[in-house]
Amino acid sequence: MRKVLVIGGGISGLTVAYWLYKSGLDVTLLEKEDRAGGSIRTEKDSGYLIECGPNSTLDLYNEVDDLCESLDLSEEKIYGNEGAKNRYVVRDGRLRPLPMGPLQFLSTDLWTIKGKLRLMCEPFIRKSNDSREESIAEFVIRRTGLEFLDYAIDPFVTGVFAGDPYQLSLKSCFPKMYGLEQDYGGLVKGALFGRKEKGEPRRKMRLFSFRDGLDILPVALCKVLGNRFVGGCNVLSVKKADSGFEIIAEAANTPIPLGTELNSVPETRTKIPSLSGRGWVIKADAVILATPSWATAKIIHPMTEYVAAHLSQIKYVPIVIVFTGFDRKHISHKLDGFGFLIPSKEAIAKGYNILGSIWSSATFPRRAPEGKAAFTNMLGGARMSDVPEHSDSELVDMTLQDLRLILGIKEKPDFVSVIRHTRAIPQYTIGHQERIDRVGKALKNIPGLYLTGNYITGISVGHCITEATKLAKSILTPNNPPLIKGD
């Protein structure tokens, strides 16, 4: 039986480890932190359920269904409240719902008449012949005009990537949108004819989470892996060995008691003298790196400087969450939506600090005590990349100031929690796909080494699960087309 080592216990690493383990492979997962889940973390405090990372994800992927089914979690799934469908965008200091249909489009004051007319010209805009890779902003301005970029796409990009649409690549961030122009000549034409042609059943765009928060998913995966999940283990490097790979790891924050067995590979475990007896040398036939790109770059640097150099070019933006709980009676807004996003233009004009606010308790049940309202407010991103330098109290003040201006909340919250992600979201900037393709090509020379994670083809939890599942399948059935892997 092949010994497989998965490095990184976020949702990507856990998913690939789970499917390989279920298929009978000898799998061990090494994770730096004591806990599993990576960016996904749910905490409970004072009656609030606090999502410290993702709040929910789109219910679009069969791979996610299969995983939930296999873990017996399908019954735990909850969907976004039907009465909280609106997505608000701030314009001229006021919340305006994004139109959901043609009638709302005509009546909305989110865009001016000029902006709407320009948007309606989209089907008549010719496909670009320029082979140069376009940013999201270039594409959207060319096809739909600046106003649609400023007051629809820019806030959407903030919501997904916390990024700058002028820096991010359309092809890498929104491959479907890119494909609509490539294949059908435009967005409207593609939306009308594309689906018909493919005969795809339309899956309802719904957000989901779990009754007790998103991290029941990593917790359930970790439970199945049992002592094959080794937490508190910082992997330092992976090198080619005579047959397979040699991995060097040390105890991370909390020292792993010496003598802890690394499950499937104990017979190859040896202490590394230079690490004062706290480290291991582990041998494996195959290695899957499910760590962020900057960590992956460090780990594989001794084996391939070329791949490491490409991966270290991927930039991450920071995010700080200021979670606030208010007395519901202090908020006059109906809270009939998922929350709001602030366009960059508006942030500059009005001096807002937050990127947006998710109305957690309006979207899902059991997120706040009776009579309270929970908001997950986000700061940072490409717009405020120095956010880690601000103190908690400064960030809380900035958040409360914006909530006062936008929602008119004058009273203090009765609960606040600040959660920091220094390197939160990888940015798929211009050239991203080319970088990933080169990495994939270089890995062909290193059979048995595989990469997965949110920096490759998709940021969302659903994307990560889907890609990790595909990777597991391709490892199990070697004739399948490879994803990012060496053989």
Residue ranges in contact with ligand FAD by CB under 6 A? 7-13, 30-33, 38-40, 53-57, 234-235, 290-292, 295, 299, 319, 321, 421, 424-425, 453-454, 459-462, 464
12/427 with CB nearer ligand FAD: 12
How far is the C-alpha of 184 from the C-alpha of 112, rounded, in Å? Answer: 28
Q: Read off φ and ψ for residue 440, nearest 5 degrees.
A: -60, -40
How far is the C-alpha of 18 from the C-alpha of 464, rounded, in Å? Answer: 14
238/407 with CB nearer ligand FAD: 238
Q: Are 396 and 416 in contact (CB under 8 A)?
A: yes
For the CB of residue 146, give the shortest distance to ligand FAD in the complex, in Å: 28
49/424 with CB nearer ligand FAD: 424
For the CB of residue 465, give the shortest distance to ligand FAD in the complex, in Å: 9
157/187 with CB nearer ligand FAD: 157
Residue listed under structure tokens 């806030």: 155
Q: Which amino acid is at 301?
A: H
33/154 with CB nearer ligand FAD: 33
For the CB of residue 376, give the shortest distance to ligand FAD in the complex, in Å: 9
User: DSSP string of 92-112?
Assistant: TTEEEEPP-SHHHHHH-SSS-
For the CB of residue 356, give the shortest distance to ligand FAD in the complex, in Å: 11
For the CB of residue 199, give the shortest distance to ligand FAD in the complex, in Å: 27
User: DSSP string of 314-336?
Assistant: --EEEEEEEEEEEEGGG--S---
222/235 with CB nearer ligand FAD: 235
169/234 with CB nearer ligand FAD: 234
197/305 with CB nearer ligand FAD: 305
Long-range contact list for 67-76, CB < 8 A, 24+ apart? 67/15, 67/18, 67/217, 67/465, 67/469, 68/217, 70/22, 71/217, 71/220, 71/221, 71/224, 72/220, 73/210, 73/216, 73/217, 73/220, 76/210, 76/211, 76/212, 76/216
Non-local CB neighbours of 349 within 8 Å, separated by 6+ positions: none
For the CB of residue 301, give the shortest distance to ligand FAD in the complex, in Å: 12
For the CB of residue 479, give the shortest distance to ligand FAD in the complex, in Å: 26
For the CB of residue 31, give the shortest distance to ligand FAD in the complex, in Å: 5
How far is the C-alpha of 29 from the C-alpha of 16, rounded, in Å? Answer: 10
How far is the C-alpha of 112 from the C-alpha of 140, rounded, in Å? Answer: 17
